[in-house]
Amino acid sequence: MSASASSTPSRFHNWLRLLVFLRPHLPRFLSGQFFGVLNALTSLALMKGVPKIWDSVFGVQGASLSEVFTLITMVPVIMIVRALTSYLNTYLTSWVANRIITDIRQKVFEHLQKLSLDFYSKANVGDLISRITSDCQQAQSAITTVVNDMVRHPITLLTVATALLVKDWQFSLAAVVLAPLCILPIAIYGRKVRRSSRLHQESQGEIVSRLHENITGARVVKAFHMEPYEAKKFGETSYRQFALQMRIVRSVNILSPLIEIVASLGAMAALLYAFQRGMRSGDFWELLLGIFFLYDPIKNLSKLHTTIQKSLASTDRILSILDTVPSIADAPAARELPPIRDALEFRDVSFRYDAKWVLQNVSLRIPHGKTIALVGPSGAGKTTLLNLLLRFYDPTRGAMLMDGADLREGALLSLRRQIALVSQDTVLFNDTIRNNIRYGRMDASEAEVIEAARRAHAHEFVLHQPNGYDTVVGDKGVKLSGGQKQRLAIARAILKNPAILLLDEATSALDTESERVVQQALDELIRGRTVVVIAHRLSTIQRADLIVVLDGGRIVEQGTHAELLARDRLYRRLHDLQFR
Ligand code: ADP
């Protein structure tokens, strides 16, 4: 899903794919188009009716008062029909267009939920956000216009042009000869708009991603005094977008005046022609009205072309997300993994994210109910081991087993239901404390939430929050201390009550008091479960049933604390470095 994917030749095909989303709304769409057709026919009625009224009022036909009156009332009647049908046409088709984009956005979001972590680790956050916001917006306005105009205007064009031909073919033919003059600039500028629009959308993504990076990295930016550098970088992107926007504005806005100039030349020629032929005024009115009613459809249909071009770039960027296949998904014959009874196992597992091997020939049995501590220098592959257990990734070689069954053959949900992850960067959502604890088990009762909070030693401090369990914790939980956030995460895991617990212990030390409470909460959480913990605390390591020492993606040692100390190798060195 790189940016260059947007220049594939299957663009138009992509746009047609969007129409699949139209299917559920077909009745509404068709009624909208029906009113559009009626609306188009009112143009023909006016073209034919008004000259008749003109002639009767100005006495060419010598009509009676009642005849004139009947004719005159036709005008407001037609205008009422015209207004009503125009309103209904626009309302119904706009409804459909807006709804299509809402459906697509929902579908893209749902698809994002299915995509695996490898997608997120490579994705550019700003670019993704801009695809779902501004690209959808772009496509939305384009589709509204297209859907609105696609039937009404061609029908007006067809009926009015036919009427004109029948009325005076020489006059109409002359108009047809002039038409290509209008179309030439449209073709030229349409291409320009298309090219600039794509670049513009891409630069929009760039702006959002710069913003995202800058805001999330604000601490570093300030600490290193890089504000001027950041402002300059942002300015470059921003002004590039300005230039692109102006290129689009120039191309789009040159079109209407061009068409108007051509039209005025046409009017001049028409007057000359009428004078030469000694035409009656009613007839001339008819021709003039015909040309007038043609102008709008031609103008809009020409814009339609550029609108479609503009929307193609956006729809392509949206659809390319839907085209990304989740790398971890249930196999067709995936079966439920029953609750763990015996053991988790790494069987000769090797793994790489990209070119470099991160784990090599790891074999490890984790008996159910035991606590395994993973120890090793940074980059040794500890987090990767947890990632494989959660099936965030599948092993490149070898297999992950639960009670002897390959995880790849089981349903993802049946695995993840059995696991809770408590990681050092505690993720809280900007929601109430209650909902943060219930995250993962939204059906939990109030009593269960409070019980979990109590066991996580969180109940006390939650009650001291301004609104208790209804307190909103702020973006990423900024309103809470580190220890409090950890205890909420622990409460969340306790409530989920998983058989398997994956723990990524915080490296940053809490103050002694918080440390003690968090430790108590963890003790409560660990009891009776299979635990794999990336351990940084001596107490955790000492209590583990088995310590596994990783280095460079391999298991270099394993044993109990005492055994490993006695062996005097890597574990001993790490231990002395960290805890002496
Ligand atoms: P640890 O948790 O022991 O510090 P990790 O499992 O996080 O080690 O990382 C092991 C190696 O894998 C490191 O060299 C790291 O750079 C690499 N790595 C981790 N995550 C990714 C990723 N998403 N893409 C590519 N390489 C990664």
Distance between Cα 382 and ligand 1 center (Å): 8
Distance between Cα 216 and ligand 1 center (Å): 21
Whether residues 200 and 110 fall in one domain: yes
Low-confidence ranges of the chain (pLDDT < 50): 1-9
Whether residues 176 and 222 fall in one domain: yes
Please indicate whether residue 383, judged by its CB atom, sits closer than 6 Å to ligand 1.
yes
Q: Which residue's entry shows tokens 């300030």?
A: 222
Distance between Cα 534 and ligand 1 center (Å): 14
154 lies in which domain range?
14-322
> What's residue 1's pLDDT?
37
Mutation probe of ligand 1 site: the residue of 349, 353, 396, 421 with most atoms within 8 A of C-beta: 353
List strands edge to edge, sheet with 397-402: 357-367, 343-352, 397-402, 405-406
- 328, 116 in Cβ contact below 8 A? yes
Please indicate whether residue 384, judged by its CB atom, sits closer than 6 Å to ligand 1.
yes
Whether residues 545 and 416 fall in one domain: yes
Distance between Cα 373 and ligand 1 center (Å): 18
Task: Decide if 335 is inside a domain.
Answer: no
Whether residues 149 and 197 fall in one domain: yes
Whether residues 491 and 549 fall in one domain: yes
Whether residues 313 and 372 fall in one domain: no
Say how far apart CA 281 and CA 271 lie, in whole Å.
11
Residues 6 or more apart whose Cβ sits within 8 Å of residue 369: 528, 529, 530
For the chain, the domain total comes to 2
Whether residues 224 and 373 fall in one domain: no
Please indicate whether residue 358, judged by its CB atom, sits closer than 6 Å to ligand 1.
yes
What six digits make up the tokens of 568? 């005097």
Say how far apart CA 378 and CA 534 lie, in whole Å.
11
What six digits make up the tokens of 357? 């091997």
Distance between Cα 379 and ligand 1 center (Å): 6
User: How many CA atoms lie less than 13 Å away from 4 in the CB half-sphere?
Assistant: 0
Task: Decide if 446 is inside a domain.
Answer: yes
Say how far apart CA 484 and CA 461 lie, in whole Å.
8
What are the angstrom distances between the C-alpha of 221 and each of 55, 238, 240? 78, 19, 23
Which CATH number covers residue 39?
A: 1.20.1560.10
Whether residues 316 and 369 fall in one domain: no
Quote the DSSP letter at residue 424.
S
Task: Decide if 334 is inside a domain.
Answer: no
Distance between Cα 384 and ligand 1 center (Å): 6
Task: Decide if 101 is inside a domain.
Answer: yes
Please indicate whether residue 378, judged by its CB atom, sits closer than 6 Å to ligand 1.
yes
Task: Decide if 361 is inside a domain.
Answer: yes
Whether residues 357 and 281 fall in one domain: no
Whether residues 196 and 142 fall in one domain: yes
Backbone dihedral region for residue 348 (phi beyond 0: left; psi -120 to 50: alpha; all else: beta): left
> What's residue 403's pLDDT?
95
Q: How far is CA 140 from the centre of its chain?
A: 13
Query: What length does the chain have?
Result: 580
Task: Provide the sign of the torsion angle of the four alpha carbons 509, 374, 421, 355, taken in this order.
Answer: positive
Say how far apart CA 415 and CA 382 lie, in whole Å.
20
Task: Decide if 260 is inside a domain.
Answer: yes
Say how far apart CA 353 and CA 415 lie, in whole Å.
22
Please indicate whether residue 381, judged by its CB atom, sits closer than 6 Å to ligand 1.
yes
Which residues sit opposite 532 in a β-bridge?
372, 502
User: How many CA atoms lie less than 13 Å away from 23 in the CB half-sphere?
Assistant: 5
Say how far apart CA 534 and CA 541 lie, in whole Å.
9
Q: Which residue's entry shows tokens 């626009």?
A: 90
What are the angstrom distances between the C-alpha of 63 and each of 55, 56, 74, 284, 285? 9, 6, 16, 20, 19
Backbone angles phi, psi at 44, to 5 degrees: -65, -40
Rounded (to 5) percent helix, strand, coil in the chain: 70, 10, 20
Query: Which pLDDT tens digit goes with each residue over 348-403?
Result: 999 999 899 999 999 999 999 999 999 999 999 999 999 999 999 999 999 999 99
The ligand 1 atom at the shortest distance from the C-alpha of residue 550 is 3
Whether residues 363 and 311 fall in one domain: no
Say how far apart CA 311 and CA 296 lie, in whole Å.
22
Which CATH number covers residue 432?
A: 3.40.50.300
What six digits make up the tokens of 341? 């009874």
Q: How far is CA 57 from the centre of its chain?
A: 61
Distance between Cα 85 and ligand 1 center (Å): 62
Task: Decide if 433 is inside a domain.
Answer: yes
> What's residue 547's pLDDT?
94
Whether residues 353 and 298 fall in one domain: no
Task: Kindly state the helix (H) or strand (E) to which residue 557 belongs, with its residue range.
Answer: strand 554-559
Please indicate whether residue 357, judged by its CB atom, sits closer than 6 Å to ligand 1.
no
Mutation probe of ligand 1 site: the residue of 356, 383, 502, 570 with most atoms within 8 A of C-beta: 383
Nearest one of 320, 324, 376, 384 to 349, comparing CA atoms: 384
What six digits make up the tokens of 553? 């993606």
Say how far apart CA 556 and CA 548 lie, in whole Å.
8
- 180, 298 in Cβ contact below 8 A? no
The three-state secondary structure class of 502 is strand
Task: Decide if 377 is inside a domain.
Answer: yes
